[in-house]
Amino acid sequence: MSPEQIVHMKGIRKIYPDGTIALRGVDFSVKEGEIHGLLGENGAGKTTLMNILYGLIPPTSGEIYLRGEKVEINSPREAMEMGIGMVHQHFMLIPTFSALDNIILGREPLSGPLTIDRRSARKEIEALMEETGLKVDLDALVENLPVGIQQRIEILKMLYKKAEILILDEPTAVLTPIEVRELFSFLRKMKESGKTIIFITHKLKEVKAIADRVTVLRRGEVIGVRDAKDVEIPELARMMVGRDIKMKIEKRPPSLGEEVLIVKDLWVKDDRGRDAVRGLSFSVRAGEIFGIAGVEGNGQSELVEAICGLRKVDRGSVILCGVDATSMNPIKLYSLGLGHIPEDRHKWGIILDFSVEENSIVGVHRNKKFLNSIGLMKGGEICKWADNIVKSFNVEVLSLKTPARSLSGGNQQKLIVGRELSKNPRVVIASQPTRGLDVAATEYIRDLLLRMRDEGRAILLVSADLDEVMSLSDRMAVMYEGRFTGIVDPEKVSEEQVGMMMGGISIGGSYEH
């Protein structure tokens, strides 16, 4: 091990209690004073690896060396004492505190037994700001500051605590292009002053722009380490998404019908008011599965919510079965022929304290067949309906009266899928339909989606699981920062092309029917 290696993680394995293998023996090392990119798609293990280095989670096995010395890091506090600081994707600031107070939190200089010496702290931080160029108004309250500035405060906080090794988890995800440029210039300055920076990202161009070296992770394994200036983007793309064995699913060629879902120049804002979907246009035909892949957080959730009437459409339109369905109430959408399998079952899909029966009618609870002449709900009809879903979709339940909370994740999902498909939809929007499910349930739901396609329904499949999208879809698009970087035939596209699209590089031409 060369002495210039400031961090060396050796044979790191992480198996979560539920059996998920996040890291399969990773060797990772960083040289002193470099900017090291850590590249990979969702679930590759980037953040897990860095959380281990930062002491947030313990590895199942493996060793960590700092400057050649073996160490054990049991908490972020210990990591901090060893000079390791991490800025997470979600900031950990106190909104009602000033920037100054946030920065000194955890290492407050005292001027007396009960008083904080803010003056000396301010001097120290001002010197830091001078050195790195990270300028912040120290007296402003954090809640009034834009995200870009909050990020600077997070970085200053780490530097103030004498971090020598700085880990940044997807730091550009929340920034505007100008803020990204500024961040990069700070990072270069910090590098000049001798700091070591680990930069987690899935954006290929960023690696080339800022990193000295890059380690590519895929499914918990290191695929390779390269010098950023020598490696070409297509090679990085291939390394990031390269397939081990392509999942092979037998499917008939699609028999295409009319366009039942048309999205025209759609603009949607996220919760913070930024454009999450930027002028998307596409259509889905009856009898096909149109897949949308991409790293999460590139606007997929907002797109689905907007189509399904759960988020306001900013501009543009959605046409469902020939009717303008832009920002329509979900109940009306369901009656027009929409079925929606939502991405987060506990947030959207199911009411945990409702019984299986009550959950089976969400969205159709005002349907006439469930009501008698004076407007009371017909228990018998609802029971029959629920029983039919449970039987046809193999939902394992003790009784229809048991709360949904007592069902396993797979059975909850089958209940939701069953409910949506029982609405006899012409268009099914399936968002992360197999997330967190075991192999059997996953297979069941994928088969079901294919069966729905063969029955002539249109399916829009949105998933962060690239294998899933590639093996099920008839056409696939890759979403990046609210736009499609391409629409391709999953049978013909190369890994390299998919990787480039996921990393934000458009490939020429779009694949239509």
Ramachandran category for residue 55: left, alpha or beta (phi over 0 → left; psi -120 to 50 → alpha): left
**423 near other proteins (CB under 8 A):** no
**440 near other proteins (CB under 8 A):** no
Distance of closest approach, residue 377 Cβ to other proteins, in angstroms:
6
Query: Taking the mean position of all CA atoms in its chain, how far away is CA 427?
Result: 25
Query: Which tokens is 363 given?
Result: 């969205």
**332 near other proteins (CB under 8 A):** yes
**309 near other proteins (CB under 8 A):** yes
Residue 469 near residue 292, CB atoms below 8 Å: yes
Residue 428 near residue 342, CB atoms below 8 Å: no
Distance of closest approach, residue 311 Cβ to other proteins, in angstroms:
10
Pairing of strands 61-66, 289-293: unpaired
Distance of closest approach, residue 80 Cβ to other proteins, in angstroms:
29
Q: Which stretch binds other proteins (CB under 8 A): 218-226, 248-256, 307-315, 316-324?
A: 307-315
| Count of residues interacting with other proteins (CB under 8 A) | 33
Nearest residue to 92 via CA among 109, 74, 110, 80? 80
Residue 485 near residue 478, CB atoms below 8 Å: yes
Query: Which tokens is 223 given?
Result: 């695929």
Q: Select 218 or 345, whichever has its Cβ closest to other proteins.
A: 345
Distance of closest approach, residue 501 Cβ to other proteins, in angstroms:
30
Residues numbered 109 to 168 that lie near other proteins (CB under 8 A) are: none
Q: Candidates 57, 331, 336, 383: give the one binding other proteins (CB under 8 A).
A: 331
Q: Select 193 or 406, whichever has its Cβ closest to other proteins.
A: 406
CA separation, residue 61 to residues 9, 18, 65, 79, 224 (Å): 11, 17, 14, 18, 21
Distance of closest approach, residue 363 Cβ to other proteins, in angstroms:
4
The CA distance from 65 to 32, in Å, is 13
Annotate each residue in 339-378 with x if it binds other proteins (CB under 8 A) or - if it does not, as one string.
-x-x----xxxxxxxx---x--xxx-xx---xx---xxx-
Residues numbered 400 to 419 that lie near other proteins (CB under 8 A) are: 401, 403
Query: Which tokens is 495 given?
Result: 């890994």
Distance of closest approach, residue 329 Cβ to other proteins, in angstroms:
5
Query: Which tokens is 381 given?
Result: 């009809």
The string over 465-492, giving b where at least 16 C-beta atoms fall within 10 Å of a residue's C-beta and e elsewhere, is: bbbbbbbbbbbbbbbbbbbbbbbbebee
Q: Select 381 or 467, whichever has its Cβ closest to other proteins.
A: 381
**329 near other proteins (CB under 8 A):** yes
Distance of closest approach, residue 388 Cβ to other proteins, in angstroms:
19
* Three-point CA angle 162, 168, 173, nearest 5°: 145
Distance of closest approach, residue 330 Cβ to other proteins, in angstroms:
4
Q: List interacting residues with other proteins (CB under 8 A).
A: 308-310, 329-334, 340, 342, 347-354, 358, 361-363, 365-366, 370-371, 375-377, 379, 401, 403
